[in-house]
Structure 1
Amino acid sequence: MSIYKKILVAIDYDAEYEHIIEKALSIADSPEDVGLVYITLPSYYVQPYLYGMPDTSYNDVDWTKNAKTKLSEIATKFGIAQDNVHVKSGLIADEIHQIANENHVDLIVIGTHGRSGIKLLLGSTANAVLHGVKQDVLAVRLYEKS
């Protein structure tokens, strides 16, 4: 029996995420205890970097809708309830903290590359999530593909 009753898994579905979800599921008593979260950056963060590219449209509503569809597919694949799928737009760490608090989460699971400097211990996103959070955080090491 796990000491964690509600687990929130923060993933980037454009990167390695299977290992992170599998780790969370191995800790949970049931897939029903696991939730997934994906955070999109608001368009005002991204628009300046798209200047001069052929398609510079970045629509928050469309990106959030696409993210929800993708995350729902991932949840289905791992037996996670659709009610436990969260997609928000904003600052990643802040949104993860808010979702964790609103859903009375006991453990946040997040992947980390941990490449250099402070990132040697944690990736910048994992580090940001760790600071100021009330819940335990499990940073799952992501492996480089050879």
Structure 2
Amino acid sequence: MSAPYRKVLVAIDCSDESAEVLARAAGVIAGTEGELHLIHVIEPLALAYGADVPMDVTDLQSGLVKQARETACNYARQYQVPKERVHVELGSIEKTIVDKADGLDADLIVVGSHTRSGLALLLGSTARGLVPGAHCDVLAVKMDRKKKE
């Protein structure tokens, strides 16, 4: 039988579904010996919209980071995750998550996953994008949209 997960990196998008992803992660960790880390990645506006952003977006990005940190810390408090284990970073989403997992020597990455169709299916999801580059297990928590309706 394999050992329980001791260090888990939970990728959250700071939406209402983050609580469900966190709950699943808390359920697979090795009791009091385990460590939960949260990460929220914000893609730089230049990366998301191409290098030709016509204005200085530094203040806007700083505001997004500050707001995301506050939201992530609120989720972290619900699971007694200390602030130093809450990571809000700018970068490419999949690469930043994998790099953080490697840096933490994480046993598991937990991320929410939606059933996609149309254009979203062609573009792929964060969960699917993590698997090839991850050096640890990846748990995709299936988010059921019908439950919310």
- Measured against the shorter chain, the TM-score band is 0.7 to 0.9
- Residue 130 of structure 1 pairs with residue 125 of structure 2: no
The correspondence for 2:43, drawn from 24, 41, 60, is 41
Contact 2:6–2:33 under 8 Å retained in 1: no
CA distance in 2, matches of 1:30, 1:41: 33
Q: CA offsets per residue over residues 103-130 of structure 1, 9 Å max, x none?
A: 110000001002237x77xx51111111
1:7 aligns with 2:12: no
- 1:68-92 C-alpha deviation (Å, 9 max, x unpaired): 1111111012211211100101110
Deviation above 3 Å: which 4+ runs of structure 1?
45-48
Aligned residues: 138
Partners in 2 of 1:31 and 1:77 — Cα distance?
18
Q: Kindly tell me: are residues 5 and 114 of structure 1, through their superposed partners in 2, closer, same or farther at Cα, counting changes over 3 Å? A: same
Distance in 1 (CA, whole Å) between partners of 2:128 and 2:84 is 27
Give, in whole Å, the separation in 1 of the partners of 2:85 and 2:34: 8
CA distance in structure 2 between the partners assigned to 1:83 and 1:97 by the alignment: 18
Structure 2 unmatched ranges of 5 or more: none
Identity of aligned residues (%): 31
Q: How does 1:13-92 map to 2 (within 5 A)?
A: 13-28=14-29, 29-30=31-32, 33-46=35-48, 59-92=60-93
Instruction: Give, in angstroms, the shift of residue 60 of structure 1.
Output: 1.8
Amino acid at match of 1:60: Q
Q: Structure 2: how far apart are the matches of 1:22 and 1:70?
A: 16
Contact 2:12 2:39 in 1 (8 A): yes
* Higher mean C-alpha deviation, range 22-31 or range 62-71: 22-31
When the two chains are superposed, the root-mean-square deviation of aligned CA atoms in Å is 2.7
How many Å separate the matches in 1 of 2:131 and 2:49? 28
- When structure 1 is superposed on structure 2, of 39-48 and 15-24 the one drifting more is 39-48
